Structure 1
Amino acid sequence: MAITNGTNGTNGAHKRPINIAGCSGGVYDRKRAIHDMARNEPQVDVITGDWMSECNMTLRGSDKRDKINKKQLSAVGSAYEPYFLEELDHAIPWLAKNNIKVCVNAGASDVEGLAEAVKKLIIKHGVDLKVGYVDGDDVTDAMFELLKKGEKFPNLPAGKNIQDWGFDPICAQCYLGGTGIAECFAGSADIVVCGRVADASVTVGAAIWWHGWKRENVQELAGALMVGHIIECSTYATGGYYSGFKDLGINDTDMGYPIAAIDHLGEAVITMEKRKHGLVNTATIASQLLYEIQGPYYYNSDVTAQIENVKLEQVGENAVKVSGVQGLPPPPTTKVGITAKGGYQAEFHFFLTGLDIEEKAKMIERQTLASLGDHVKKFSYLKFQIAGTVPEDPQSQDEATVDMRIFAHLMPQSFVKETAHLPDGTVVDIPTPTLTQEFPFDQPTYNTHNLVDLSSFGPTTRAPLGYVVMGRSGDKSSNANLGLFFRHDDEYNWLRTLLGVEKLRELLGKDDKGKAIDRCEMPNIRAVHFLLRDHLDRGFNAASGYDSLGKNLCEYIRAKKVDIPNKFLERGRI
């Protein structure tokens, strides 16, 4: 499908790159982000933002269904993310003045309601901006239809069928691509709001519109997809979540948002807001590239990106070129998030101080279980946990105190009916891709093919892995991903030889769940990537651990001691 009225003609080869800024990585990102970008960076063409997560998909979707069931349709408006309106309000005059477009997925479960609210803000400011919206991500009815036909909806972390879940689904949202967004921009929209388009799809949609790409341009689409992945979490790409954060010095309090200049080939140079704190180098970009991926294939409704040979090149101060992504057709299926009401959860904390912490904790556990009596059988999950240790000869009461926590718990693309609603009222049906490719359920996994003799690296000293290795970790449902990478080329063979799956299990220690771990390598960025399947205890909405999003897994592994070649340590610790 070619996008109608594409701005730049055949493949856009004769036009400049499109400048896309990523200004939100979550519901409560910086309130002035869109305003600052629109005012201070007039060269930006499109400001994007990701407001959606598994958390608010569940909250907004179930809220909408509750109101529909109670016939309170007029109250559905709270099923979008109202905080976006606060962010957009003060930016509107600058968007109009500098001719900057906006695309976000803050529509959650009421995208039409958000579109109407945006129109009211525009009228308030007295400017001429047009609004379009994309819907079709609510696939609740299609889900129930497929369930009746025996569809198993295997979950991504473990492949378990929905029939074995033990809960009754109430709503479902699928992850849309960027084609509907491109249609809205081509139909003269200045602001496009969406429901559950995938995080990176707002960037893909803007690039499709600008360059006039077709669905067959899988190479270009794949490049834009990975650039969108890098900038969709706001300042994470500019040092906001970076193992080498000490490189920032004290310039870490007003982090700049990333800006990607995507050319007609789908390659991009990523920079950042001027006169802001932060840093764009190959390490900050590699950190975000490795975040939340599930292996060498990155799936989307528009395209599949194969990223084993991705390249990052420093091309200037705070400027990194991203290339080397291989484009493949999208899968015939798309990811769907299914929500059910699973009961309640609660936690209670004791602060234990001084000597005999373990004995004190055991006493509290015995007392708690005794007071619960037979009621303990009603819990689906009950966990007693100690966080922290008391040092020898503590110098303050705070140093001698630890936290004891008690925690308790009482679809195919052909079924997706995506539509783009243009500012003039035209509704454009977005057909599903005709060019698709089947992929195995499990991604490729392997240990190092060509092992190197570790003794060849010379004498070693036992030290934390993080002295020489950077990395990033995150979540997708209950999976955790972990990417580790080196600063120097000659250190990579040591890392990939050392870090096989069994070595990672050793480093995990008590946190090894004994479940499957996938592994792959990305030699051009000197990285080893692991996918820890079902590591996060049912995912964010049900997880019982502190690190329910998997973001601190990397820092835990970097703190573990291994035998590191002295010549690496002599280069200075990270």
Structure 2
Amino acid sequence: MTRRPVRIANFSGYLGDRHGALDEVMAGDAVDVLVGDYLAEVTLASLSARHRADPAKGYVGYFLGQIRPHLAAIAERGTKVVTNAGAFHPAGLAEALRAVISTEGLPLRVAHIEGDNLLPHLAELREAGHDLAHLDTGAPLASWGAEPISANAYLGGRGIAAALEAGADIVICGRVTDASLTSGPAAWWHGWAEDAWDALAGAVLAGHIIECGPHATGGNFTGFAVIPGGSANVPGALRPGYPLAEVAADGSSVITKHADHPGAVTVDTVTAQLVYEIQGPDYLNPDVTVHLADVRLRQAGPDRVEVSGTTGSAPPPTTKVALFAPIGHQIVMTAYLTGLRIAEKHALLAAQIRDLAAPGVEDLDVTLLGTAAADPRSQWEATVPVRIMATAKERAPLEYANFAARVNALFLGSVPGFFIDTAAAPALAPQPRIEYWPGLLPLEAVEHRAVLDDGRRIGIAPPKITQGFAGQPVQPEPAPYPSGRTERAPLGRIAFARSGDKGGNSNVGVWTADPEAWPWLRAALGTDAIRGLLPETADLEIVRHEFPHLRAVHFVLRGLLGVGGSSNLRVDQVGKAVGEYLLARVVDIPVELLDRRPATAG
């Protein structure tokens, strides 16, 4: 007998997300499963350093404070909870949570997932011939020249499903894929076989859409101004709600939100998250390869978007391993320049900082952020921030006396209009600089286990069927659009965008809500056009794909983020603003498209 769709609600999209979100979700509509995602790649970098200093701090401690007030209601309702807040120490968080549950006298069973932590086994893996080749370059880990302090394999959702099947009420994970927090419970709920590829693929996509919380309900959205939930004077939602996925037995889903919560769920808010941080039409997961080419989105009602057409096939034989290693130290300061001749002032200030830098400083970046307004109407319209970042192998060149104090000593002898915010916390000491290595490892080399409340361990065998991944499909460059009357206007007049990061690559998805604008958009955004619109990509490899059913063009900008968001010198280290930058570029747009642009466009 086919079960009804499982209702899965997100309550966290990253470490530091809205702390009271779980309170909001618990007061919202009834759901079957609550899922909380805390682990972005840059989060792993910071947590790895913290875990190295104190192994007891390897998990997200504040999760305990979030969930404790709701444990009684969770027990009463029979709601399941799945989270990756266990980070580097899921057993530790599970133990701490069991202690809280015991104090409350509640009958909740906590399981945790293990097997992702490969740090103790790196030497053994190398001896077995696993070189943990870099995902993008193919270089072996031995060529890195850095000593990892963490190494975590991305696990799928089958361990989560096994723990729930064995009676767990709360499942604490470490590094499972973000989407597995949803696909695991869906597989448990519907009893899917390991090779139910289409159903699994649909659940993975649903998980991808809700994993970043308000990203699917109007947060970080080009069309933010039309999202309800603000005030008469401020467009957009003040606190967009968190999304739900209703995942059916065939893997199709409806994305929605709690009825009385601010925000909106539309085809465009869902498209924004669908094209976010993917690498092309094939989306790889340890349980299934998800094929996105034929995905359809349909507005099925107010704040309800139906997701269908997802297909799946066997997963690849490998999974990603996130390795982090300290490669030195870094310090960041912010200063300001004011008035006329900003470019010349910036040039002299940068030269002065380079002149005073102590021996041993490796990279020094002095970036001007923006331009001053012409005929400014306030001092702040005439003011431009300057971000100063320095790196060094050793700590000494970046100690206060050797760097920040020297920058602060420039005020009387540098350019006019140069100042710092004396009320802000000063940069006094350098921080560790952590580098990322995304390696590949056969799934059969990972010992994936679910550990139950009573200590029993359930081994999760590697997939019986896998298929090699030869790379994303190659698509031809678009043909030119027929010439006609055009007007110079920002691309954002008729298009939306969202961008993000995967290792050293930034990805940008651009789409239009107007079917009539799609032929022009796809023709206008070829690879060469992107190089012209984003000069930073001039020497980079750009991979381009089209999603006609979404009216979207997707780009992977390889190497824009260096080797990863935790160690590059960019101000936007993880590429979250690249899409909005692209939309701000002025292009030649057919006049007839500007005349009919949808009300939701930027």
Q: Could you tell which deviates more after superposition, 314-323 or 113-122?
A: 113-122
* 2:198 aligned partner: 219
For the pair 1:25 / 2:25, whether they are aligned, the reply is no
2-structure distance, mates of 1:330, 1:50: 22
CA contact (8 A) 1:513 1:535 kept: no
* 2:575 aligned partner: 550
Q: Could you tell which deviates more after superposition, 160-169 or 325-334?
A: 160-169
Q: Could you tell which deviates more after superposition, 564-573 or 276-285?
A: 564-573
CA contact (8 A) 2:540 2:559 kept: yes
1-structure distance, mates of 2:126, 2:530: 39
Specify the SS of the correspondent of 2:582: helix
For the pair 1:153 / 2:132, whether they are aligned, the reply is yes
For the pair 1:51 / 2:38, whether they are aligned, the reply is yes
1:411-458 alpha-carbon deviations (Å, 9 max, x no partner): 211111111112333211111111000002x42333335x25331xx4
Q: 2:240 aligns with which of 255, 263, 271?
A: 255
1:53-88 alpha-carbon deviations (Å, 9 max, x no partner): 222323333444455xxxxxxxx3211110111111
* 1:568 aligned partner: 593
CA contact (8 A) 2:481 2:524 kept: no
CA contact (8 A) 2:537 2:557 kept: no
* 1:402 aligned partner: 384
CA contact (8 A) 1:105 1:196 kept: yes
CA contact (8 A) 1:176 1:301 kept: yes
**1:193-208 correspondence to structure 2 within 5 Å:** 193-208=172-187
Q: 1:454 aligns with which of 482, 489, 511?
A: 482
Specify the SS of the correspondent of 1:90: helix
Distance 1:150 1:212, change over 3 A: closer
User: How far has the Cα of 1:142 moved from its partner?
Assistant: 3.1
* 1:425 aligned partner: 455
Q: Which amino acid aligns with 2:325?
A: A
Unpaired runs of at least 5, structure 2: 231-235, 393-440
CA contact (8 A) 1:297 1:307 kept: yes
User: How far has the Cα of 1:325 moved from its partner?
Assistant: 1.2
For the pair 1:357 / 2:338, whether they are aligned, the reply is no
* 2:525 aligned partner: 499
User: How far has the Cα of 1:155 moved from its partner?
Assistant: 2.2
CA contact (8 A) 2:477 2:527 kept: no
* 1:302 aligned partner: 287
For the pair 1:444 / 2:473, whether they are aligned, the reply is yes
CA contact (8 A) 1:187 1:423 kept: no
1:342-363 alpha-carbon deviations (Å, 9 max, x no partner): 1101122331111111211222
For the pair 1:107 / 2:86, whether they are aligned, the reply is yes
Distance 1:109 1:100, change over 3 A: same
CA contact (8 A) 1:261 1:269 kept: yes
2-structure distance, mates of 1:368, 1:226: 48
Q: Could you tell which deviates more after superposition, 309-318 or 416-425?
A: 416-425
1-structure distance, mates of 2:165, 2:267: 34
**1:453-492 correspondence to structure 2 within 5 Å:** 453-455=481-483, 458-492=484-518
Q: 1:388 aligns with which of 365, 370, 387?
A: 370
RMSD over aligned Cα atoms? 1.6
2-structure distance, mates of 1:59, 1:521: 35
User: How far has the Cα of 1:29 moved from its partner?
Assistant: 1.7
User: How far has the Cα of 1:530 moved from its partner?
Assistant: 0.4
Specify the SS of the correspondent of 1:482: strand
Q: Which amino acid aligns with 1:230?
A: I
Matched residues, percent identical?
40
* 1:319 aligned partner: 304
1-structure distance, mates of 2:27, 2:108: 16
CA contact (8 A) 2:290 2:311 kept: yes
Q: Which amino acid aligns with 1:108?
A: A
2-structure distance, mates of 1:45, 1:496: 41
Specify the SS of the correspondent of 1:129: coil
Specify the SS of the correspondent of 2:27: helix
1:150-170 alpha-carbon deviations (Å, 9 max, x no partner): 543232344443333231223
CA contact (8 A) 2:481 2:519 kept: no
Q: Could you tell which deviates more after superposition, 329-338 or 351-360?
A: 351-360
User: How far has the Cα of 1:149 moved from its partner?
Assistant: 5.1
TM-score (norm: length of structure 1): 0.92
Distance 1:419 1:151, change over 3 A: closer
* 2:425 aligned partner: none
1-structure distance, mates of 2:195, 2:93: 32
CA contact (8 A) 1:31 1:86 kept: no
For the pair 1:434 / 2:464, whether they are aligned, the reply is yes
For the pair 1:516 / 2:541, whether they are aligned, the reply is yes
1-structure distance, mates of 2:379, 2:472: 50
Q: Which amino acid aligns with 1:564?
A: I
1-structure distance, mates of 2:566, 2:383: 29
CA contact (8 A) 1:109 1:138 kept: yes
Q: 1:269 aligns with which of 254, 261, 267?
A: 254
Q: Which amino acid aligns with 1:398?
A: W
User: How far has the Cα of 1:566 moved from its partner?
Assistant: 1.1
Q: 1:126 aligns with which of 93, 99, 105?
A: 105
2-structure distance, mates of 1:527, 1:131: 42
* 1:187 aligned partner: 166
CA contact (8 A) 1:27 1:83 kept: no
1:186-210 alpha-carbon deviations (Å, 9 max, x no partner): 1111111111111010101101100
CA contact (8 A) 2:48 2:150 kept: yes
The count of corresponding residues between Structure 1 and Structure 2 is 545
1-structure distance, mates of 2:212, 2:503: 17
CA contact (8 A) 1:38 1:100 kept: no
CA contact (8 A) 2:35 2:82 kept: yes
2-structure distance, mates of 1:500, 1:196: 36
Q: Could you tell which deviates more after superposition, 130-139 or 345-354?
A: 345-354
Specify the SS of the correspondent of 1:380: strand
User: How far has the Cα of 1:513 moved from its partner?
Assistant: 4.8
Q: Which amino acid aligns with 2:486?
A: T
1:326-376 alpha-carbon deviations (Å, 9 max, x no partner): 201111100001111111011223311111112112222222222236x1x
CA contact (8 A) 1:345 1:408 kept: yes
Q: Could you tell which deviates more after superposition, 414-423 or 160-169?
A: 160-169
Q: Could you tell which deviates more after superposition, 469-478 or 161-170?
A: 161-170
Specify the SS of the correspondent of 2:539: coil
Specify the SS of the correspondent of 1:454: coil
User: How far has the Cα of 1:314 moved from its partner?
Assistant: 0.5
Q: 2:557 aligns with which of 529, 532, 544?
A: 532
2-structure distance, mates of 1:60, 1:396: 42
2-structure distance, mates of 1:60, 1:391: 40
1-structure distance, mates of 2:84, 2:179: 10
Q: Which amino acid aligns with 1:529?
A: H
User: How far has the Cα of 1:217 moved from its partner?
Assistant: 0.6
User: How far has the Cα of 1:263 moved from its partner?
Assistant: 0.5
1:8-44 alpha-carbon deviations (Å, 9 max, x no partner): xxxxx521010001111011222222233233322x0
